[in-house]
């Protein structure tokens, strides 16, 4: 509590220099003891770049989670392919393929058969379309350009409600691609957003689970010491000294379907994601384990641990109730930094074609697809990389900010 | 990486009979239990028999030599380059902490740590090879050129090295520069720095001889640990720039099921990293006389 008191006293001293006097409520506010999380929070806010980073991450998370909404607003479908419009540059509007249009019209006719019949009769009466069978009138209308189709609706003498419905159908005749299209004519914006879900999801999951593994191993090694410590730490050292990317590639190249036990456990769709998370976890828990072991080693000698031992607490209680709260702050930093690193590794592996397998989009495998086309469509290669850069730099800044915030040397009082 | 080599032969040759398969399996020793196969392989490696490449039909030893040289050149050049850039940057920041220069360099460092090196490579290719056409997009040397002088050869190969070295160094520049800054800040806070200044030494001597020498110790640890990551990164960079080093060999042999090449190049790359770690450990003693290895 010593530091907290000086903190408040200093603040009081500063305040008392000012001419106007404080009212009682403000003094009470200043005298209140600040919790450690509050101090860390206040300290974190001082680090401008970290705060910007935190908002960037929040923004990306929100965008990733609102993928279905964006899909609806932009009027695009993430999985629709269009071979006639591949590698379109950003900000292009293309007219949809015949099958998309006919699907929309069919859906409309199925949902509103009565009004569809009226429209078909009107279309033929006004001689906008010439068809042998009246049922084909709407399909024939669907072949118009969007503007022409809209104009035709305006001239028809039908109810306003039906006109609105038809306009909604006609809107689908054109697709606006904010970031252009990729090698299969898919919308790059939607691919990027779904890629954000995958890449950030993998990054966060890997960081969290490797932190858990590291916490467990580090705690056991630090608390029990002796032979267990030596053995666990030698394993950690051995894994740390391996060159990461070559090892990851070798492990990623193993086909898990060939391993009899795992084949039944893994469903086919998410296999590559689960496998990637698993592989990255195996090779990223070591720094956490070292960090936790170091903290636990010093904690072990402290009086409060002796006190709880004297009171008859079990090892489990001592480790989880008394030691873990003391390592959470540095752990948080290393998880945050770990997310950025895992995103980079995921991207690197997917970039080499060994990570997340298409059609599931991730930033890495979008780059993998794009690298062969840099002459024709350079933007395809630039966009996913920019997102990786933004997200990783944000996580690194947040980690740096947290590090400064929990470091007692840098806390300003 | 599916199955064993015999399965690949089966898929390559539909006319193969069951008897042939059994014969092939016993010929390659694949019918023996796994531990026996492992010991056979280890003793072959120890004897220097590295086997043949499945794809290129030449002994692995012949492929390893040139690949190792290329990777060694690439890694060393990029390590030297990143140290040459990072140390002055870090010292500059440490001498003027919280100045505008410090903030700009700090942003650059963070960008360097966060940027995926392969993406940077792609961007560099787009800018310098596709748009400006100043530098070659990939490869090792201009094909079909006879070098008349040594200088000509070096200049030609250097042009091919520039882009890979930049994309490989950017991450280590960021890391080294951040570390130099904090180590240097710590070192300049020592009392003997004040003493050195007080006795009227030139500031260059204070910075380099008194400050930097002490900042070197933590720096060496980071540099040593980074050698492994530079080596790992070289794999992606080499693949991207079609540079014929060990990294690309590992990648292409794994993708192409070239077992002997994959295992040997993997062993070599791991042992190179371990060797570098040992060298770094020994270097402590050179830099800091307080460390002894008795």
- For B174-228, the pLDDT digits (tens) are 989 988 998 888 888 888 888 988 998 888 888 888 888 888 877 877 787 677 6
The pLDDT value recorded for residue A413 is 43
> Confidence class of residue B89 from pLDDT cuts 50, 70 and 90?
very high
Smallest Cα distance from B157 to chain A, Å: 24
Give the pLDDT confidence of A152-175 residue by residue, as tens digits. 777 777 777 777 777 777 666 677
The pLDDT value recorded for residue A2 is 44
> Confidence class of residue B293 from pLDDT cuts 50, 70 and 90?
low
Smallest Cα distance from A107 to chain B, Å: 43
Contact A392 B2 (CB under 8 A): no
Q: Which residues of A touch B266 (CB under 8 A)?
A: 246, 250
Instruction: Choose the mutation target among A49, A53, A234, A249 for the interface with B, i.e. most B CBs under 10 Å.
Output: A249
Residue A181, token pair as written in the block: 């299209």
**Are the CB atoms for B52 and B60 separated by under 8 Å?**
yes
Instruction: Choose the mutation target among A234, A246, A339, A369 for the interface with B, i.e. most B CBs under 10 Å.
Output: A246
Residue A80, token pair as written in the block: 């629709």
User: Is the predicted pLDDT of residue A269 greater than 90, yes or no?
Assistant: no
Among A45-59, B20-34, B126-140, top mean pLDDT goes to: A45-59
The pLDDT value recorded for residue A210 is 93
Residue A412 contacts B where some CB pair is shorter than 8 Å: no
Q: Which residues of B touch A393 (CB under 8 A)?
A: 110-111, 113-115
User: Is the predicted pLDDT of residue A1 greater than 50, yes or no?
Assistant: no
Contact A243 B2 (CB under 8 A): no
- Please tell me which residue of chain B has the smallest CA distance to A385: B119
Residue B245, token pair as written in the block: 């080093």
Among A17-31, B41-55, B228-242, the minimum mean pLDDT is found in A17-31
Query: Around Cβ A21, how many Cβ atoms within 10 Å?
Result: 9
In percent, the amount of chain A with pLDDT more than 70 equals 81
Instruction: Tell me the C-alpha distance between A368 and A407, whole Å.
Output: 40
- The number of C-alpha atoms within 13 Å of A14 and in the hemisphere containing its C-beta is 8
The pLDDT value recorded for residue A267 is 56
Give the pLDDT confidence of A378-396 residue by residue, as tens digits. 888 888 889 999 999 999 9
Residue in this structure with the two tokens 């593994």, named with its chain if needed: A213
User: Is the predicted pLDDT of residue B85 greater than 90, yes or no?
Assistant: yes
The pLDDT value recorded for residue A268 is 57
Residue B269 contacts A where some CB pair is shorter than 8 Å: yes
Q: Which of residues 387-406 of A touch B (CB under 8 A)?
A: 388-389, 392-393, 395-397, 400
For β-strands A92-95 and A174-177, DSSP reports them as antiparallel
B206-213 contact pairs (CB < 8 A, 24+): B207/B91, B207/B95, B211/B184, B211/B187, B212/B87, B212/B91, B212/B184, B212/B187, B213/B287
Mean pLDDT, chain B, whole residue set: 82
Instruction: Tell me the C-alpha distance between A276 and A364, whole Å.
Output: 12
Query: Around Cβ A253, how many Cβ atoms within 10 Å?
Result: 16
Instruction: Tell me the C-alpha distance between A97 and A174, whole Å.
Output: 9
Smallest Cα distance from B193 to chain A, Å: 21
When comparing pLDDT for A121 and B188, which is higher? B188
User: Is the predicted pLDDT of residue A259 greater than 70, yes or no?
Assistant: no
Contact B235 A396 (CB under 8 A): no
Bridge partners of residue A187, in order along the sequence: A181
The pLDDT value recorded for residue A14 is 52
Smallest Cα distance from A284 to chain B, Å: 14
The pLDDT value recorded for residue A9 is 53
Smallest Cα distance from A285 to chain B, Å: 16
User: Is the predicted pLDDT of residue A22 greater than 80, yes or no?
Assistant: no
Mean pLDDT in residue range B242-265: 82
The pLDDT value recorded for residue A7 is 52
User: Is the predicted pLDDT of residue A273 greater than 70, yes or no?
Assistant: yes
Q: Which residues contact A143 (CB under 8 A, 6 or more apart)?
A: A98, A101
The pLDDT value recorded for residue B294 is 59
> Confidence class of residue B84 from pLDDT cuts 50, 70 and 90?
very high
In our burial notation (b when 16+ CB lie closer than 10 A, e otherwise), range A153-171 reads beebeeeeebeebbeebbe
Instruction: Tell me the C-alpha distance between B272 and B264, whole Å.
Output: 12
Give the pLDDT confidence of A302-330 residue by residue, as tens digits. 888 889 989 998 888 988 888 888 888 88
The pLDDT value recorded for residue A255 is 67
In percent, the amount of chain B with pLDDT more than 90 equals 8
In chain B, where does the domain assigned CATH 1.10.3720.10 lie? 32-287
Contact A389 B119 (CB under 8 A): yes
Contact A382 B123 (CB under 8 A): yes
Residue ranges in chain B assigned as alpha helix (H): 5-12, 18-27, 34-46, 60-95, 100-114, 117-124, 150-188, 191-198, 203-205, 213-241, 246-255, 259-287
**Are the CB atoms for A190 and A71 separated by under 8 Å?**
yes
Residue A246, token pair as written in the block: 């070559």
Mean pLDDT in residue range B2-11: 67
Cis? peptide before A359, omega within 30° of 0:
yes
Q: Which residues contact A399 (CB under 8 A, 6 or more apart)?
A: A333, A334, A336, A337, A340
> Confidence class of residue A4 from pLDDT cuts 50, 70 and 90?
very low
The dihedral region occupied by A80, where left means phi > 0, alpha psi between -120 and 50, and beta the remainder, is beta
Residue among A92, A258, A96 nearest A169 (CA) = A96
User: Is the predicted pLDDT of residue A55 greater than 90, yes or no?
Assistant: yes
**Are the CB atoms for A351 and B118 separated by under 8 Å?**
yes
The pLDDT value recorded for residue B44 is 80
In percent, the amount of chain A with pLDDT more than 90 equals 16
Mean pLDDT in residue range B77-95: 91
Multiple choice CATH, B32-287, 3.30.465.10, 3.40.309.10, 1.10.3720.10, 1.10.260.30: 1.10.3720.10
Residue A347 contacts B where some CB pair is shorter than 8 Å: yes
Give the pLDDT confidence of A224-255 residue by residue, as tens digits. 888 999 999 999 988 887 777 888 888 887 76
**Are the CB atoms for B242 and B161 separated by under 8 Å?**
no
Mean pLDDT in residue range B74-98: 90
Mean pLDDT, chain A, whole residue set: 79
Contact A249 B239 (CB under 8 A): no
Give the pLDDT confidence of A70-120 residue by residue, as tens digits. 777 776 776 777 666 677 777 777 766 677 777 777 777 777 777 777 777
The pLDDT value recorded for residue A3 is 46
User: What burial class does residue A219 get, using C-beta atoms within 10 Å of its C-beta: 0-12 exposed, 13-18 middle, 19+ buried?
Assistant: buried
């Amino acid at each position: 509590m010593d530091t907290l008191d000086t903190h408040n006293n200093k603040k009081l001293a500063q305040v008392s220099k000012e001419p106007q006097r404080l009212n009682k409520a403000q003094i009470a506010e200043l005298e209140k003891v600040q919790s450690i999380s509050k101090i860390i929070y206040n300290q974190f806010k001082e680090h401008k770049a970290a705060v910007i980073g935190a908002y960037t991450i929040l923004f990306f998370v929100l965008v990733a989670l609102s993928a279905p909404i964006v899909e609806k607003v932009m009027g695009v479908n993430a999985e629709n392919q269009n071979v006639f419009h591949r590698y379109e540059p950003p900000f292009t509007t293309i007219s949809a393929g015949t099958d998309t249009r006919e699907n929309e019209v069919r859906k409309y006719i199925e949902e509103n058969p009565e009004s569809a019949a009226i429209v078909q009769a009107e279309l033929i009466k006004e001689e906008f379309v010439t068809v042998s069978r009246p049922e084909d009138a709407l399909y024939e209308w669907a072949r118009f350009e969007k503007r022409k189709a809209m104009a035709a609706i305006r001239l028809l003498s039908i109810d306003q409600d039906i006109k609105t419905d038809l306009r909604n159908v006609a809107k689908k005749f054109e697709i606006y691609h904010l970031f252009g299209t990729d090698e299969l004519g898919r919308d790059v914006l939607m691919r990027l957003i779904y890629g954000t879900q995958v890449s950030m999801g993998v990054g966060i999951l890997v960081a969290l689970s490797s932190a858990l593994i590291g916490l467990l191993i580090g705690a056991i090694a630090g608390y029990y010491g002796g032979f267990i410590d030596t053995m666990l730490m030698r394993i950690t050292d051995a894994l740390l000294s391996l060159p990461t990317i070559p090892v990851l590639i070798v492990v990623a190249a193993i086909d898990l379907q060939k391993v009899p036990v795992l084949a039944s456990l893994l469903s086919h769709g998410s296999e590559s994601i689960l496998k990637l998370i698993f592989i990255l976890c195996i090779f990223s828990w070591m720094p956490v384990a070292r960090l936790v072991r170091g903290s636990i080693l010093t904690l072990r000698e402290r009086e409060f641990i002796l006190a709880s031992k004297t009171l008859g607490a079990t090892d489990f209680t001592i480790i989880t109730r008394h030691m873990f709260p003391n390592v959470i702050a540095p752990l948080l930093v290393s998880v945050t930094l770990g997310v950025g690193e895992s995103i980079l590794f995921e991207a690197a592996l997917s970039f080499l074609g060994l990570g997340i397998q298409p059609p599931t989009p991730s930033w890495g495998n979008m780059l993998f697809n794009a690298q062969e086309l840099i002459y024709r469509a350079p933007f395809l290669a630039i966009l996913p990389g920019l997102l990786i850069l933004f997200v990783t730099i944000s996580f690194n800044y947040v980690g740096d900010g947290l590090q400064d915030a929990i470091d007692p040397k840098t806390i300003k009082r | 990486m599916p199955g064993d080599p015999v399965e690949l032969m089966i898929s390559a040759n539909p006319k193969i009979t069951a008897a042939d398969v059994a014969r092939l399996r016993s010929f390659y020793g694949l019918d023996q239990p796994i531990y026996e196969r492992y010991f056979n392989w280890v003793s072959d490696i120890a004897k220097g028999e590295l086997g043949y490449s499945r794809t290129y039909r030449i002994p692995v030893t012949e492929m390893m030599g040139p690949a190792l040289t290329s990777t060694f050149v690439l890694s060393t050049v990029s390590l030297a380059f990143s140290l040459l850039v990072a140390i002055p940057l870090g010292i500059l920041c440490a001498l003027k902490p919280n100045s505008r220069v410090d903030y700009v360099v700090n942003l650059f460092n963070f960008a360097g740590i966060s940027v995926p090196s392969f993406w940077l490579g792609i961007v560099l290719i787009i800018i310098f090879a596709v748009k400006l056409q100043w530098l070659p997009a990939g490869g090792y040397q201009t094909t079909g050129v006879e070098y008349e002088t040594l200088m000509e050869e070096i200049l030609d190969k250097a042009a091919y090295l520039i882009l890979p070295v930049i994309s490989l160094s950017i991450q280590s520049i960021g890391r080294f520069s951040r570390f130099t800054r904090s180590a240097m800040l710590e070192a300049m806070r020592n009392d003997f720095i004040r003493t050195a200044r007080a006795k009227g030494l030139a500031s260059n001597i204070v910075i380099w001889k008194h400050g930097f020498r002490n900042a070197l110790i933590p720096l060496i640890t980071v540099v040593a640990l980074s050698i492994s990551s530079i080596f790992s990164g070289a794999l992606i960079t080499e693949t991207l720039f079609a540079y014929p080093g060990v990294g690309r060999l590992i990648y292409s042999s794994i993708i192409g099921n070239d077992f002997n090449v994959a295992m040997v190049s993997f062993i070599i790359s791991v042992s190179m990293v371990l060797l570098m770690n040992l060298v770094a450990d020994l270097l402590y003693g050179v830099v800091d006389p307080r460390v002894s290895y008795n």
